[in-house]
Every structure is written in C-alpha cells, then in structure tokens.
Structure 1
Amino acid sequence: MNPVLALIITNIIWGAASPIFKFALQNIPPFTLAFIRFFFAGLIFLPLAIGKWQKLTPRQWLEVLLVGFFGITINISFFFLGLQKTESINVPVIASSGPVFIYFLSILFLKEKPKIKILLGMIIALFGVLTIILSPIFLDGKKFIIGAIEGNFFILLATLGTVFQTIIGHRILKKVNPFQCRRLHFCSEL
C-alpha cells in the first residue's frame, strides 16, 4: 500500500474515533470501554504475538512497562475521562500539541539541540493549545466551565501520556523488538 494513502486512512480512522467514543461513553463507563477496546485489539493482535522472545534486562523490562503505562494506561484513561466532559472537536486540537511537548522534552531528556525558529514556533503553538484548553472560560456559561476545562485538561494529560511513551520508547525500541514491546504492553495493561 502507498505510504501516503496509509497515513490518510489512519488519520481518517483517528479523526472518527473521538465522536464515536464520545457516543459510546453515553452508555458505557470509561474504564469498561477501555477494556473492551483493548480486549478486541488484543485478539486481533494475538496472531502477531507468536514469535521469538528476546531476553530483557531488568532496566529494559522497566522501560517497556513504563512505555505501556504512559502510552496505554495514562493515555487511554485520561482520553476517555476527558472525552466525557469536553467537546469531541477539542480532542484532536489538544492532542496535536504532542509534538510541541516532545520537542521540549527531547531537549531536556534526549539532549537535542534547540533551534531558535522551531522553539519560537513551539511556544506559539503552546499558547494556541492553552487557548483551546481554557476556552470554556470565555465561551460557555458558568455552569459548564469546570467540567469542560477539566475535560480539556484530561485530554492534555492523555497527550502527555503519549509524549512520555515516545520519549521513553525512543531509547528502548533501539534495543528491543517493537512487536515484543507491543505484546508486553497489551499483556500488562489488560
């Protein structure tokens, strides 16, 4: 398949996810929905899980489990909790702040060199995300302010989960087979 077409299809699927999950959350509690989502994903992934296992050091085990914790537990928990309280249109906008945080944390933890133009652009993007997160103060009545801001903040925490997953995963995926990492994530998070 053409890589560009694959990316387009992936974005369509992810773009449709927020409204579909928001609808599902009207009748299904967030953690039940998360379990259902990963149970069926795990069943689909099961045939790929059969294979040779690489022996991991204790540090590698810790890093693999941390990647799963941030990328699945933190991300999905706060995603569903936030989606219950905020507008689904806010989710992709807030989630798009991930690269901004990855850039800042890469400078901090991965010792990447900052570039002034990129840094300025990232700061502007960060202000845009903060505007979306705090927009209920300016747009909604007092009745909805707390819930909507809380929902937006939960979506930000979900995004930070994927950011830390990326930062920690950057190192571990150089040493451990990605399929093995994913298998361990599914097993540990269910």
Structure 2
Amino acid sequence: MKRGILLLIAATLLWGGNYICGRFLALALPSTLLNTVRWAISTIILVGIMTISKKRLPLFSKWKEFLILGFFGVFAFSTLNYLGLRSISASQAGMISAGIPVAILIFTPFFLKEHIKLKAWIGTAVSIIGVITLLLGKNQASSEGSLIGDMEIVLSCLAWGLYTVLGKQYGKQMDPLTMTAGASFYGTILSAISCIGTVQPSMIHMSTNAWLAVLYVSTFASVGAYFAWNTGVKIVGAGKAAPFINLLPVWTVIFGVFLLHEQISLMSLLGGIITIAGAVLASL
C-alpha cells in the first residue's frame, strides 16, 4: 500500500513538472509544435514498450476510439495547456487544473450513466466558486495574467475530463497501455496537422535547456507519470487513488514559486485552496 501511495505522489510530481517546462518553453517553441514533438517521442516509446511486451496495437480496427481519445487527451488537453502557459504563470495554471476532478464528475452522468451523490455536486459547486475567485485575483500579483490564457487552461480541464470519462468507457475493450499508445499516435497526427500554416522557422528558439525540457515532458511527464499513476491505482484501488490528483496544483505552485520565482496574490491563493477543497470533497 505504501509503495502505491508513493507512486501516485510521484506521478503528480512528474505532471507538475510539465507545467513548469511548458511555461519555460513558451518562448522557445510554438505550442502546437511543442505538443507534436512531445507526443511523437512519447508515441515511439509507448509503441516500443508494446513491441517488447508483444502486445498488438489495433490502430485501424479501433481508429474511431483512438482518434477521439487522441483529440481530447493528447491534442486538445496538451495544446491548450501550452497555449495557456504562454500568457499565465505555471502556478496559476496549476491551481486552475485543480478543477480536473470536477470536469470528470460533470461528464460522468452523461457518458457512463453513473449516479453522482449530492456531496460530490456540492464539492463541484465549491470548486467552481474557487476557480472564479482564483480568476478574479489573477491580476493582483503581476501583469502576466490573461483572461484568454485562463480560459485555455479551463478548456484543457474540460478536455481531460472528457478523455478520462471516455477512456473509462473504451477501457472495457482494451488495456490502458494500448489505449494510451493509440491515443498518442492519433493525437500526434492531429498536432502535426495543426502546425501547418501556423509555425514558422523564426518562431523556434531552442537552447540546450529547452531540449532538456522537451525531453522531460516527452518521457518523465508522459510515459513515466503514466506508469507510476496506473501502477499506483492498481495497488491502492481507483477510489483511494482519485483524491491524489489534487496534489498536482500543489506541486505546480511549489515549483512555480521556487523554480520560476512566480508570485501569487492572496486572492488567487485563496481561490486555489477553495478549488482544491471542493475537488477533494467531490472525489471522496
């Protein structure tokens, strides 16, 4: 049990680093190109793991499922995250991402036909109030806050909510590794298509540190976090694992303050705490 908890914490830690790298890479690569490079590398690694494990990847027979999952979980979620991080701080984005469990909860009754208890809906309402408070306080700390950037992160949360719920539905037909590899493949193609006409050579400013950041988001923040999270869920169970996702905004704020020297207004911090508290209530 202790090993499973440590793996869940490690997964959120690695995902938190993705926001920091995304913020750092904002001026080095266009968001669409960054997402394409990230998931192209991740796809190669995932397919390699499947090959070693002698697993078959049904890219054509399950193309609809993979395309839908790739659109929401790889293309929309990641691209919107990187777009948002161009105009708002990693700390701000991390606190907004505390609404992810709420997004999952909202879509669950529509796609999985599961009954949601009143306590979860109360938690959802609390989280929404927290996000609104957070957005109202975004301009008190610095001038980098952007309403468009905030909305892009909110939309990324909704995209991940859809990906998670649909992934649970499609998970009855395939295992998580196969589903992730297939979604990565089609999501990379969609990301590559989005680069057409939007990316110019003059927009690329790569350095050694930038390449290291790309390597991090392509391996540790993608494949590494995926294995840590799924192994942890397998050990402790899905119900006990769910609240651990709320550690993500905590790590992001810590990293943002200490690594990127970001500042947080009191109202934004209060909004983040309210959002996390509501998400925990909704998850339990």
**TM bracket (short chain):** 0.7 to 0.9
Q: 1:86 to 1:181 in 2, by over 3 A?
A: same
- 2:120, 2:179 → 1: CA distance? 32
Deviation (angstroms), 1:84 = 0.4
Which residue is 2:100 aligned to? 98
Counterparts in 2 of 1:111-130, with a 5 A limit?
Answer: 111-130=113-132
Separation of aligned partners in 1, 2:55 and 2:89: 44
Q: 1 or 2 for the larger relative contact order (CA 8 Å, sep ≥6)?
A: 2
Deviation (angstroms), 1:88: 0.9
Deviation at 1:140, TM superposition (A): 6.5
Q: Which runs of 5 or more structure 1 residues have no equivalent in the other structure?
A: none
Distance 1:16 1:57 in 2: 34
What value does the CA root-mean-square deviation take over the aligned residues?
2.4
* Aligned partner of 2:156 among 152, 155, 158: 158
TM-score (normalised: structure 1):
0.85
Scaled by the length of structure 2, the TM-score of the pair is: 0.59
1:175-190 equivalence runs, <5 A: 175-190=173-188
Question: What pairs with 1:59-98 in structure 2 (closer than 5 Å)?
Answer: 60-98=62-100
> Residue 54 of structure 1: CA displacement?
6.8
Q: Give the superposition deviation at 1:76.
A: 0.9
Aligned to 1:11: 12
Tell me if structure 2 keeps the 8 A contact 1:91–1:155. yes
Alignment match of 2:165 (pick from 148, 164, 167)? 167
Superposed displacement of residue 90, structure 1: 1.2
Cα 1:9/1:139, change in 2 over 3 Å: same
- Aligned pairs, number: 185
Q: Partners of 2:26 and 2:124 in 1: how far apart?
A: 33
Residues 96-117 of structure 1: per-residue CA shift (max 9 Å, x gap): 1011121122123322223222
Q: Secondary structure in 2 aligned to 1:174? A: coil
Choose which of 45, 52, 56 in structure 2 pairs with 1:53: 56
The answer to which of 39-48 and 67-76 deviates more is 39-48
